[in-house]
Structure 1
Amino acid sequence: MTTRLIVLAAGKGTRMKSAMPKVLHRLAGKPLLGHVLDTGLQLNPASITVVIGHGADQVQSTIEQPVKWALQSEQLGTGHAVREGLDGIEDSDTVLITYGDVPLTRASTYQALLDACDEQTIGLLTLMMDDPTGYGRILREGGAIVGVVEQKDATPDQLGITEVNAGVVAIKGGSLRDLLSRIDNNNAQGEFYLTDIHELAVKDGLRVQAVHPQDEWEVDGVNSRVQLARLERLHQQHLAEELMNNGVTVADPARIDIRGTLKTGTDVTIDVNCVFEGDCVIGNNVKIGQNCLISGSVIADGSTILANCVLENAEVGSDATVGPFARLRPGTRTESGIRIGNFVETKNTHVGEGSKINHLSYVGDSTLGRNVNVGAGTITCNYDGVNKHQTIIGDNAFIGSNSALVAPVTISEGATVGAGSTITRNVPADRLSLTRARQTDIENWSRPIKNK
């Protein structure tokens, strides 16, 4: 069976009150359409065609997944949109039609629709709702589906039906092309409804088979920022529960955001208001304090990230302590047992085993050996206005507080830099280097006093 997907993503999303196409608004850091495409790719389809319209160029330039594009230049309804996406679809193909603003449908639900579809059967996603307002109603006779009526066209009796159309359809390509050629726009909205194919199909002797999602939220679409926020919290709750089921302590499942992928070991503790972006990996027995942003980073076993830290594309070795209020910028890589303390910023720097940068320092474009101690207020002066330069600090070196290391420079193994020094030349091994001015004490000096 050849499976092909058509994803409808041409709408403007007027209720979003946004210049950005609705399908590009983000859920868990990813465009709504991106979620739909990622799930669709799990089905290993021969192709995915995305039908775009409003903001087409912006959608194409944002989406990274491998898809075909079809343009619906006029928004004349869902049936018309599907027609625009038929190019390349063979009669024998099984076509799954879904929507770019319905981000949380499971792949297993899509697969159940595909399994229900054959030459004589259309798979249709439906569900029972206590409040079906806004949804098309499923019409049945003798238990069999005979059609779908949109709310604006429904009679008062039909409005009382609680089985609704979720919109996702699996159908053979030949049947789809034939049925779409026969629908019209004689309805309250003057549009070509995809839902009209079901009544025609039944008249042709085809069967419409209902498939139900495991959870109602799988078919929740986004039409407003309120709905987007509601889905965001729902999605984050599920992600938090998955973490907890995998051995992670989440201090408050309502106060965590995962905007990418997060792989964790066991006995991890995550405090409140932590955000994880991109692809993150956390080892066993890691503790992450409150208000941390971890982006595209790896944290090895036994390490502690204290409160209010920012890690961006960094690698933290085992049994390390970072923070509070530390920022590890891209290219930071540490070995085991290191300490990076409060108000320390590192960038493109390797920190060797057991080394410490405890307070108020900037270390960039540097390589630190083992058991180095960097005192408070130290700065590696790595940028000359045009180029970045390297600072190399050997094993067991000691950098006194309030020092400036003007790169390119090497502080050799076992060397000591006296506090308050500006180092512009290489420091030999096991030497003390300092550039401190001689202290002068002035006798009989009086502090100036303001005249009253």
Structure 2
Amino acid sequence: MTKRFAVILAAGQGTRMKSKLYKVLHPVVGKPMVQHVMDQLSVVQLEETVTVVGFGAEKVIETIGDQCNFVIQEEQLGTGHAVLQVEELLKNREGTTIVVCGDTPLITGETYQALFEHHEKTGSKATILTAIAPNPTGYGRVIRNAENEVERIVEHKDASTEELSVKEINTGTYCFDNQALFQALQHVSNDNAQGEYYLPDVIEILKDASESVSAYLTPDFEETLGVNDRVALAQAEKTMKKRINESHMRNGVTIIDPDNTYIGLDVIIESDVVIHPGTVLHGKTTIHADAEIGPYAEITNSTIGEGSVIKQSVITDSQIGEQAEIGPYARIRPESILGNNVKIGHFVEVKKSTIGNDSKVPHLSYIGDAKIGTGVNIGCGAITVNYDGMNKFETKIEDNVFVGCNSNLIAPVTIGKDSYIAAGSTINQDVPEESLSIARARQLNKEGYASKIKKRK
């Protein structure tokens, strides 16, 4: 099999983005554009990948990490000059090199694979990835001869009236015979208005040398979008979101309103899950079968058990068991583990806590740094007081405990199993098993006192 290499162009500043963040690091569906390119190229069996960096090199290298090699383009002198920076790493290698821009996050691995296969099957020295653009304004046109062979690429500003009518455009992605590429780059000139070295000039150089140049026409123009500004970034986001949602729906997930549902690339959703409008699923999230999510739920890096229902709530870095009910308006903060049949009601916040099977925190409570057993019922307004201003402490509530409304459990404290906490109690000592604990000030009624206050007014 022919060895395959990749060069990713990621040196540009992206001034049209008008941002402190370098262009290729702008996220699409939560992932930097250049990472999308890396991920899709991984579908193709590559011998080596080299990313050309310039502006924001340290940040780009930090983002991609050890997934590839890097070279720095000190001066941004055009795409041809950028590829030339890779010469020392690749020029003596035999095989096929794909050159792709780091701001094209929508091109799929299947398209890259098809481009490689077309290039290798035709035995071309260069193959251009092309597409039919509904409105080709601004794009370089791919001009073919009477035999339908690629003759040249002409930029929009240089095209004749007849050439402007051509809708097949150059997407800026190419496959090259590796050694032919670097030999041709030696002859690319910067004799143009911008004084830059352009990679498309390699096509003309190869044609002049009577080398074969072909084109692979992708059927999906939308995926070839290059992101140069915030408008294109929003278009890429919309396209990627649609692609992800359609994939889940084809796999048996019901998405009530796909236009208003946001699902990350790494999210796993099993069949017969129902996703309601306004739902946002981020990161390494898994939703198991028959769960119902939303409306307006936001879940990040969490697991939702089979048959659980999450409504109008936020869940982060946590695990939810089977047949649980969360919300509306609950917040489950990181490192929380909720068992099966747990109920977390409205305006409840849970932080770094474990709640056992069949336990309930129905409403208006804060549970932080707690270990709660099975069959526990936490009354309205109950709080685990876990912080003394310097340190966090743990509250332990054992099985089948009933905590009355408006109770404060001041950690560290343990509530023994089968115990009752009377409403309005402030508990700062351990409670033995099967006890009733009452910890509140004695009620004192001063009759007639309200009249005295009114007279003072």
Alignment TM-score > 0.5, same fold: yes
Counterpart of 1:103 (choices 102, 105, 108) is 105
Q: Which amino acid aligns with 2:299?
A: I
- Residues 227-251 of structure 1: per-residue CA shift (max 9 Å, x gap): 1112211221221212211222212
User: Residue 205 of structure 2 corresponds to which residue in structure 1?
Assistant: 200
| 8 Å CA contact retained: 2:43, 2:113 | no
Counterpart of 1:298 (choices 296, 303, 310) is 303
Counterpart of 1:227 (choices 221, 229, 232) is 232
Q: Which amino acid aligns with 2:74?
A: S
User: Residue 163 of structure 1 corresponds to which residue in structure 2?
Assistant: 168
User: Residue 343 of structure 2 corresponds to which residue in structure 1?
Assistant: 339
Tell whether 2:146 aligns with 1:145: no
Q: Which amino acid aligns with 1:141?
A: N
| 8 Å CA contact retained: 2:131, 2:220 | no
Q: Which amino acid aligns with 2:100?
A: T
Q: SS at 2:67's partner residue?
A: coil
More moved, 276-285 vs 50-59? 50-59
**What TM-score, normalized by structure 2, do the two folds share?**
0.95
Q: SS at 2:267's partner residue?
A: strand
- Residues 287-337 of structure 1: per-residue CA shift (max 9 Å, x gap): 11211110011111111112x200001111111101110011111111111
| 8 Å CA contact retained: 1:153, 1:187 | no
User: Residue 400 of structure 1 corresponds to which residue in structure 2?
Assistant: 404
Q: How does 1:275-286 map to 2 (within 5 A)?
A: 275-286=280-291
Tell me how far apart the structure 2 counterparts of residues 164 and 427 of structure 1 sit (CA, whole Å).
Answer: 76
Q: Which amino acid aligns with 2:34?
A: L
Identity rate, percent: 40
Q: SS at 1:92's partner residue?
A: coil
Which structure's residues are more often helix, by fraction? 2
Q: How does 1:237-252 map to 2 (within 5 A)?
A: 237-252=242-257
Tell me how far apart the structure 1 counterparts of residues 259 and 100 of structure 2 sit (CA, whole Å).
Answer: 30
Q: Which amino acid aligns with 1:384?
A: D
Q: SS at 1:36's partner residue?
A: helix
Tell me how far apart the structure 1 counterparts of residues 455 and 31 of structure 2 sit (CA, whole Å).
Answer: 62
User: Residue 134 of structure 2 corresponds to which residue in structure 1?
Assistant: 130
* Runs of 4+ deviating beyond 4 Å: none
Tell whether 2:439 aligns with 1:435: yes
User: Residue 416 of structure 1 corresponds to which residue in structure 2?
Assistant: 420
User: Residue 112 of structure 1 corresponds to which residue in structure 2?
Assistant: 114
Q: Which amino acid aligns with 1:94?
A: T
| Distance 1:65-1:37 versus aligned 2 partners, 3 A rule | farther
Q: How does 1:233-382 map to 2 (within 5 A)?
A: 233-306=238-311, 308-382=312-386
Q: Which amino acid aligns with 1:402?
A: N
Q: SS at 1:261's partner residue?
A: coil
| 8 Å CA contact retained: 2:386, 2:411 | yes
User: Residue 386 of structure 1 corresponds to which residue in structure 2?
Assistant: 390
> 1:205, CA displacement in angstroms?
2.7
Cα RMSD (Å) of the superposition? Answer: 1.6
Tell whether 2:51 aligns with 1:50: yes
User: Residue 222 of structure 2 corresponds to which residue in structure 1?
Assistant: 217
| 8 Å CA contact retained: 1:98, 1:168 | yes
> 1:120, CA displacement in angstroms?
4.3
| 8 Å CA contact retained: 1:147, 1:196 | no
Tell me how far apart the structure 1 counterparts of residues 217 and 164 of structure 2 sit (CA, whole Å).
Answer: 20
| Distance 1:135-1:409 versus aligned 2 partners, 3 A rule | same
| 8 Å CA contact retained: 1:9, 1:51 | yes
Q: Which runs of 5+ in 2 are unaligned?
A: none
| Distance 1:140-1:187 versus aligned 2 partners, 3 A rule | farther
Q: SS at 2:89's partner residue?
A: coil
| 8 Å CA contact retained: 1:91, 1:175 | no
Q: Which amino acid aligns with 1:443?
A: E
User: Residue 76 of structure 1 corresponds to which residue in structure 2?
Assistant: 77
Tell me how far apart the structure 1 counterparts of residues 455 and 106 of structure 2 sit (CA, whole Å).
Answer: 71
| 8 Å CA contact retained: 2:244, 2:265 | no
Q: SS at 1:117's partner residue?
A: helix
| 8 Å CA contact retained: 1:260, 1:276 | no
